[in-house]
Amino acid sequence: MAFRADEAANRGFESVKNYLIPRDIKPDERERSENKLLDIVEKYGPAVDAYPSWHPLVTNHEDEMPATSPSTICGYKGLDHTRYFVNAFISCPYGDGQEILDSVEDLPYSPIATITAERLDVQMYQPDANPILVSCNWEKQISTNHMIPASIAIPLMLQKEVPCWERATRGETWETMRPYFLGSPHGSRSSLFVNQDTALTMKKIWNLLINTGMFGPIKVSNQR
C-alpha cells in the first residue's frame, strides 16, 4: 500500500489526542488542551511513532545501536508518558518535570539545532501529570511543511553512520536501514520527516557507501 502522508498524520494526531487528552476532563480545560496540541502540531509538525536515527532529538549518545526514541540513552531524564512529533515531543511525568528540564539544559551544544524544554500550562495525560514540551529548533531553514530537506538530512545521516565503518563487520542494506533513516511511519520512499526526493537521494548515497565495502560484506537476509 502506498504511503499517504496526510492519512498518516491524521491517524497520528487522533492517537496522540486520545492518549494525551482524556475524555473525562472538564470541557473548558479540554478545549485549552486541544488548542495547545494543535498549536504544537502547527509549529513542530505531525505526530510520529519514531525518529530517524540521525534526528537531533535522539543523537546525543555514543551507543553503537541507533536510537529512534528519546530516552536516558539520549541524555534525557525523567521522561514518562511521552508522545512524539516531527520536531518535538511531549512528556508527562507525575513529578514536577524539573528532571527533564535540567537534562535538556545539560545536552551538548550543536550547531545544527538547539534542543529546549518548557512546561505546558494545560492538562495532559492525567490531572496530576505535568506536561513538558521538548523541541528541536533548527539553525538552518527547513521546509514549511516541517519536512527536513536533503541539505540537512543527508549530512546528519552521514555524520551518524560513516564513523561506524571502524567497527562494522557487515554492510546493512537500504531495506534494513530504511526505518532508521526515514523514521516512522514511513513508506518505501518517503515519510513524515523526508519527502520522496530526499529519501531517494539517501538511498542512492547509502547504496554507494555499502558497495565500497567500507562496512564489510553486504549482509543478506538469511545471514545472522
- Tens of pLDDT, residue by residue over 120-148, are 999 999 989 999 999 999 999 888 889 99
| Number of neighbours of residue 223 by Cβ within 10 angstroms | 8
Helix, strand or coil for residue 114? strand
pLDDT at 125: 92
pLDDT at 46: 96
- Tens of pLDDT, residue by residue over 10-60, are 999 999 999 999 878 888 889 999 999 999 999 999 999 999 999 999 998
**pLDDT above 90: percentage of residues in the chain:** 80
Q: Residue 108 pLDDT > 70, yes or no?
A: yes
Higher pLDDT, 223 or 190: 190
Q: Residue 188 pLDDT > 60, yes or no?
A: yes
Q: Residue 63 pLDDT > 80, yes or no?
A: no
**pLDDT above 70: percentage of residues in the chain:** 97
> How far apart (Å, rounded) are the C-alpha atoms in residues 92 and 148?
27
Give me the helix-helix angle, 5-20 and 27-44, nearest 10°: 140
Question: What integer is the mean pLDDT of 166-183?
Answer: 94
Q: Residue 4 pLDDT > 90, yes or no?
A: no
> How far apart (Å, rounded) are the C-alpha atoms in residues 198 and 203?
9
Name the pLDDT band for 5 (thresholds 50, 70, 90): confident
Q: Which residues, at least 6 apart from 122, have a Cβ–Cβ distance to it below 8 Å?
A: 29, 32, 33, 36, 131
Round to the nearest angstrom and report the end-to-end CA distance of the chain: 29
Q: Which amino acid is at 1?
A: M
pLDDT at 182: 97
User: Are the C-beta atoms of residues 91 and 134 closer than 8 Å to each other?
Assistant: yes
Maximum pairwise Cα distance, the chain: 60
Q: Which amino acid is at 73?
A: I
Name the pLDDT band for 1 (thresholds 50, 70, 90): very low
> How far apart (Å, rounded) are the C-alpha atoms in residues 7 and 218?
35
Q: Which three cell numbers stand for residue 8?
A: 498518516
Q: Residue 3 pLDDT > 50, yes or no?
A: yes
Beta bridge partners of 88: 85, 135
Residue 166 is classified by DSSP as G
Candidates 63, 68, 71; CA nearest to 91 is 71
